[in-house]
Structure 1
Amino acid sequence: MKVLKNIVIASMIALTAMQVYSKNNEQIFEQGLEVSELPKVLSHRDRTAPINKILQYRLDNLLPKLMRESDLDMWLVINREYGEDALFYTLVPEPTFAARRTTLLVFAKNGDQVERFSVSRYDIGDFYKSRWEGGTIDEQWQRLADIIAEYDPKRIGINVSEEWALADGLTQGLHQKLVSSLPKKYQDRLVSSEELVIRWMETRTAPELAVYPQIVKVARGVIDEAFSNKVITPGVTTDQDVAWYIRERFEELGVRPWFQPYVTIQRKGDKNSPDSPFFGKSSRTIEPGDIIHTDVGICYLKLCTDTQEMGYVANFGEFEVPKGLKEALKVGNQWQDILTSEFKTGCSGNEILAATHKASKRQGIKSSTYTHPLGFVGHAIGPTIGMWDNQGPTPVKGDWKLYPNTGYAIEGNVKVKLPEWDNQLIQIMLEQSAVFDGERVVYLGGRQTKWHFIQ
Structure 2
Amino acid sequence: MTITPIEPSLRRQADVQNQWLAERLATLLPVLMERTGIDLWIVVAREYNEDPVIMTLLPAPAMNARRRTILIFARRDDGVVDRLTLDRYGYGDLYQQVWNPDTESQDDCLARIVGEYDPQRIGINTSATFAFADGISHHEYERLLAALGPLAARCVSAEPLVIGWLERRIPAELAVYAELVALGHRLIATAFSRAVITPGITTTDDVVWWLRQTMHEAGLRAWFQPTVSIQARGMPFNTPATRNRIWPGDLLHCDVGFCHLGLCTDQQQHAYVLARGETAPPPGLVTALAQANHLQDIVMAEMQVGRTGNQVLAAARERAISAGLQPSIYSHPLGFHGHAAGPTIGLWDRQDGVPGAGDYPLYDETVYAIELNNVAIVPEWDDQPVRIALEEDAVLTGGRMEWLHGRQTQLHVIE
Please, what TM-score do these two structures have when normalized by structure 1? 0.88
Check if 1:116 corresponds to 2:77. no
Q: Distance in 2 between matches of 1:96 and 1:37?
A: 27
Q: Distance in 1 between matches of 2:171 and 2:394?
A: 14
Farther-moved stretch of structure 1 (361-370 vs 433-442): 433-442
Distance 1:266 1:224, change over 3 A: same
Distance apart, 1:362 and its partner CA:
1.3
Check if 1:217 corresponds to 2:177. no
Please name the residue that 1:48 is paired with. Answer: 14
Q: Secondary structure, in 3 states, of the residue corresponding to 2:392?
A: strand
Check if 1:264 corresponds to 2:195. no
Q: After superposition, give the CA deviation of every residue in 1:399-439 in whole Å (9 maximum; x if it has no partner).
A: 11111111111000010111211111101000011111142
Q: After superposition, give the CA deviation of every residue in 1:177-202 in whole Å (9 maximum; x if it has no partner).
A: 11111222x01011110110111111
Per chain length, whose mean CA-contact separation is higher, i.e. which structure has more relative contact order (CA < 8 Å, sep 6+)? 1
Identify the match of residue 179 of structure 1 among 139, 142, 145: 145
Distance 1:257 1:236, change over 3 A: same
Q: After superposition, give the CA deviation of every residue in 1:7-33 in whole Å (9 maximum; x if it has no partner).
A: xxxxxxxxxxxxxxxxxxxxxxxxxxx
Q: Distance in 1 between matches of 2:281 and 2:349?
A: 31
Distance apart, 1:337 and its partner CA:
0.3
Q: Secondary structure, in 3 states, of the residue corresponding to 1:310?
A: strand
Q: Secondary structure, in 3 states, of the residue corresponding to 1:431?
A: strand
Identify the match of residue 89 of structure 1 among 35, 48, 55: 55
Q: Distance in 2 between matches of 1:377 and 1:361?
A: 31
Distance 1:39 1:179, change over 3 A: closer
Check if 1:70 corresponds to 2:70. no
Q: Which amino acid aligns with 1:439?
A: G
Check if 1:447 corresponds to 2:407. yes
Identify the match of residue 308 of structure 1 among 250, 255, 268: 268
Check if 1:340 corresponds to 2:305. no
Q: Which amino acid aligns with 1:109?
A: R
Check if 1:389 corresponds to 2:352. no
Please, what TM-score do these two structures have when normalized by structure 2? 0.97
Q: Secondary structure, in 3 states, of the residue corresponding to 1:318?
A: coil
Contact 1:39 1:217 (8 Å CA) reproduced: no
Check if 1:127 corresponds to 2:94. yes
Distance apart, 1:41 and its partner CA:
3.9
Q: Distance in 1 between matches of 2:406 and 2:102?
A: 54
Distance apart, 1:451 and its partner CA:
0.8
Distance 1:129 1:350, change over 3 A: same
Contact 1:403 1:438 (8 Å CA) reproduced: no
Identity of aligned residues (%): 45
Distance 1:283 1:422, change over 3 A: closer
Contact 2:5 2:219 (8 Å CA) reproduced: no
What is the count of residue pairs matched by the alignment? Answer: 414
Q: Secondary structure, in 3 states, of the residue corresponding to 2:98?
A: coil
Please name the residue that 1:142 is paired with. Answer: 108
Distance apart, 1:440 and its partner CA:
1.8
Q: Distance in 2 between matches of 1:52 and 1:377?
A: 18
Please name the residue that 2:201 is paired with. Answer: 236
Contact 1:179 1:187 (8 Å CA) reproduced: yes
Please name the residue that 1:249 is paired with. Answer: 214
Check if 1:287 corresponds to 2:253. no
Distance apart, 1:118 and its partner CA:
0.1
Distance apart, 1:283 and its partner CA:
5.7
Q: After superposition, give the CA deviation of every residue in 1:100-122 in whole Å (9 maximum; x if it has no partner).
A: 11110010112211010101111
Check if 1:330 corresponds to 2:290. yes
Distance apart, 1:163 and its partner CA:
1.2
Distance 1:248 1:392, change over 3 A: same
Q: After superposition, give the CA deviation of every residue in 1:29-85 in whole Å (9 maximum; x if it has no partner).
A: xxxxxx787664422222111111111111000000000011011000101111110
Please name the residue that 1:226 is paired with. Answer: 191
The alignment yields a C-alpha RMSD, in angstroms, of: 1.6
Check if 1:200 corresponds to 2:200. no
Q: Which amino acid aligns with 1:114?
A: V
